[in-house]
Structure 1
Amino acid sequence: MNAICLVAGGPRHLLPDTLEQGDDRNYVGVDEGVIYLLNRGITPSAAFGDFDSISKQDLNMLSSKNIDIHSFESEKDMTDLELAIHWALDQNPSEILLFGGTGGRLDHELINIQLLKLGLDRNVEMKIVDRNNQIFLKKPGAYTVAENQQYPYLSFLPTTQVVNGITLTGFKYPLTNTTLHWGSTLCISNELVTKKGTYSFDDGIIMVVRSKD
């Protein structure tokens, strides 16, 4: 399956302009994210949520569309977004993109970032994207990163207590076989000085954040 794009109900002004219908994207609305999609002229293939943030008028409109609706009670053990992610992972997608998952309540934003671990555990590339950031997790290995004018800054944050052997080449602030500890700001706000660079590490999990001002 092509990429699955999950659109949650975070502040709509943070949704990127690149949110558009395409043959390589399967859109899924999560709670109010369904309305965001419909307002942009995109009809999602599926919708997840308790829909407690959607008006009755919008809910009636949603019911009239050819959308696979997964409705849940408001009191449950998983958020709407987590339920949607589990479903998306079972569809064997090429990747999962999460929109509308940042910029609202801080507790929701933090857990949405932690939910990226679900994709990592299943070896599915999963990424949070908003107007200012791209966020994803990486297991130990060596990776190539290309210059991106839209998101010129790169940060590497340890999500485990220790990340061993991190090496950065092609960056303004290079590193060689360095140990990165939880809470360290050593790898915040770096930049490529070549068209392509590489980052690698031997142990742990890192969060990569590509940002713009």
Structure 2
Amino acid sequence: MIIHIVAGGPIERIPKLYDWQAEDVIWVGVDRGVAYLLEHNIVPAKAFGDFDSITREELFNIKAQLPHAEVFPSEKNETDTELAVNWALEQNPALIRIFGGTGGRLDHFLGNIQLLLKGLEKGALMELHDIQNKLFAHREGTYSITKDETLPYISFMPITPDVKGITLKGFKYPLEKKHIRFGDTLCISNELEVESGTFSFEEGILMVIRSRDYHPLS
């Protein structure tokens, strides 16, 4: 099972959702993301949020189309996106993708990055996607990674204070058992030189960012 969560981030940062539709995908809307899904003729299985970023008319239409929409008070302990992620993790999915979770407010963006750690705790891979980036996190281990011409740049950033023993094979800038600390930029903007390479590390949590340069017309 794959769960796609569409949050309320800037619409211009959200990829074309019809490219991501498949039979095994469950769609979930968060706040303005619910309205965005309905505008694209995608009916979410679940809807969460305080809906403070939409008009009363839009909220009325959402309630009319989605009687199951869960409306929360604006003063609460979790963000709207975290509420959706908590529900998604209870479904034991193989993968959760979050759209509309980048851009806009930096506090929301950084909070969404930290939500990736919840997936690691539950054994579910979580990814953040926008029109030019894909982010995910891994615990120590060895992982394959394939070339993607649409996202040619690959960066590795520690989420924990230290990531020990990082090794990169098949990359333009290879590494062998390197120790990197939170705040280091050594592993920013690398590229694969082969169709499939590997990255591995012995301790810590590593965030992987696949990206491309921004082209407004692309």
Structure-2-length-normalised TM-score: 0.94
Backbone CA RMSD of aligned residues: 1.1
Report the residue type matching 2:2 in the other structure. Answer: A
Q: Is the 8 A contact 1:161 1:181 kept in 2?
A: yes
Aligned to 2:202: 202
Aligned to 2:16: 17
2:165 is paired with a residue of what secondary structure?
A: strand
What do residues 182-202 of structure 1 show as CA deviations (whole Å, max 9, x unaligned)? 111110000000000000000
1:59 aligns to 2:53 (yes or no): no
1:191 is paired with a residue of what secondary structure?
A: coil
1:181 positional shift: 1.1
Report the residue type matching 1:101 in the other structure. Answer: G
- How many residue pairs match? The answer is 212
How far apart in 2 are the matches of 1:18 and 1:193?
30
1:18 positional shift: 4.3
Structure 1's 89 and 50: CA in aligned 2 closer, same or farther, altered over 3 A?
same
Report the residue type matching 1:13 in the other structure. Answer: E
**Structure 1: tracts of 5 or more residues without a match:** none
1:113 is paired with a residue of what secondary structure?
A: helix
Aligned to 2:117: 117
Report the residue type matching 2:198 in the other structure. Answer: T
How far apart in 2 are the matches of 1:27 and 1:35?
13
How far apart in 2 are the matches of 1:154 and 1:25?
26
1:205 is paired with a residue of what secondary structure?
A: strand
More helix by share: 2
How far apart in 1 are the matches of 2:193 and 2:68?
46
Q: Is the 8 A contact 1:45 1:67 kept in 2?
A: no
Aligned to 1:80: 80
2:65 is paired with a residue of what secondary structure?
A: coil
2:203 is paired with a residue of what secondary structure?
A: coil
Structure-1-length-normalised TM-score: 0.96
Report the residue type matching 1:30 in the other structure. Answer: V
Runs of 4+ in 1 over 3 A off after TM superposition: 18-21
1:150 aligns to 2:150 (yes or no): yes
Segment drifting more, 17-26 vs 75-84? 17-26
1:81 is paired with a residue of what secondary structure?
A: helix
How far apart in 1 are the matches of 2:135 and 2:67?
29
How far apart in 2 are the matches of 1:139 and 1:5?
22
Map 1:161-180 → 2, pairs under 5 A = 161-180=161-180
Report the residue type matching 1:27 in the other structure. Answer: W
What do residues 38-96 of structure 1 show as CA deviations (whole Å, max 9, x unaligned)? 11111111100011112122112112224531111110011111111001000111210
2:51 is paired with a residue of what secondary structure?
A: coil
Aligned to 2:190: 190
What do residues 152-171 of structure 1 show as CA deviations (whole Å, max 9, x unaligned)? 10000011111111000000
